[in-house]
Structure 1
Amino acid sequence: TVLHEIAHARVGASHGHDAVWAAEARRIGASGRRLVPREAPAIAGRWVGTCPAGHTVSRMRRPAVPMACARCGRRFSLANLLTWTYDGKPVTAQQIGPRYARALTRINKASH
């Protein structure tokens, strides 16, 4: 939350989520807990990954490497590979970026 981040700014990065940070967070009206409650509103990211089963993940940042759906399996599997959209438009591996495209090529070669 915004208050969570303000507490970080006020006490400095060296405190992370320690007692000093927690006390400041509570002082300014945040919970003082590290994790946000599930019911808290979330801002949707511009990047949305969708697995073949239809599960989605939202990201603010461009994916750096190919990812598989964590809900479909705990280990990486090409069968659960996420395909990406940016602002609702499908993007190719090359459009995501050269690092992503190279990693996907390596993964595909290794699987054959």
Structure 2
Amino acid sequence: EKSDSSVTNAQIEQMAFELFQAHGVINYSFGFDRAIRRAGQCDYSKKRITLSKHFVATADLDQIHQVLLHEVAHALVGRSVGHGKLWKQQASLLGYRHEKLDGAVIAESSAKYLGECAAGHKHYRMRRPNSVLSCKLCAPSFSRSHLINWRAN
């Protein structure tokens, strides 16, 4: 649960631009998106870093700062590096702690529909599925033996 409920989007934007300036991230913009499976994104082609509005609604200031550092590291090292050694070194230099965020927390708090297969794999949707879906973790192609049961969240 969010412990720093007084954090505004304007404060987050200010934090982002201060990090951009401090670390030489040039010509990048910042914004919020509607992602439910990730906290942040660095879009190299648009030169834009975004945070999920669902993530910031449940995160505290430190978690938000850490995700911004993660994305700033991506902006600094470039697209081809991924999460490899160079990115890890850059992220560490910025103060990123490499703590894994549980994307399910973001998804569960924001998804309008929750699904589960017989094996217990969880699935999240913003809209009600309009067709029968099967679990790709259980079977790579559609399988009637691995159907997902949906319920409103």
State the TM-score bracket (shorter-chain normalisation): 0.3 to 0.5
Alignment TM-score, normalising by the size of structure 1: 0.45
Alignment TM-score, normalising by the size of structure 2: 0.36
